[in-house]
Amino acid sequence: MIVAMGWPAAAGQALTGRVRPSVAFAPSDVVIQAFIEQSALNRSVTFAMDSGAFYTSSVAELDGDRAARVKEVRFRMVPAGVYQVSVTLFGTEGERGHFLWKVELW
């Protein structure tokens, strides 16, 4: 698993992120933040959580270099499980950045 994290996106790094909480009691809200380097190439960012038994996702459209640097999604009342959280930044020519995170809800 590749985990890229930080805040905000560093120069030359298209995407970094943060997930809260990493461990919590279920059901719990999970907040995912994507820090996106501004670029005319940016088109969308996809947020997903998958435990094998439960899956949820969200897509936010981006308006190139006019888009906000931070996109945030809150998944509410997520049931117990061990989740792989992924955030993927897409541009005009395909994937521009990706990060993975692990979340455990008991």
Q: Do the beta carbons of residue 97 and residue 53 sit within 8 Å? A: no
Higher pLDDT, 4 or 32: 32
Q: Is CATH 2.40.160.20 what the domain over 15-105 is classified as, yes or no? A: no
Cα distances from 55 to residues 8, 25, 90, 94, in angstroms, run 27, 18, 20, 23
- How does pLDDT run across 42-79, given as a tens digit for each residue? 999 999 999 999 999 999 999 999 999 999 999 999 99
* CA torsion angle 3 101 69 58 (round to 10): 140
Q: What is the pTM of this model?
A: 0.87
Give the integer Cα–Cα distance in Å for 102 and 38.
26
Sketch the domain layout of the chain as residue ranges. 15-105
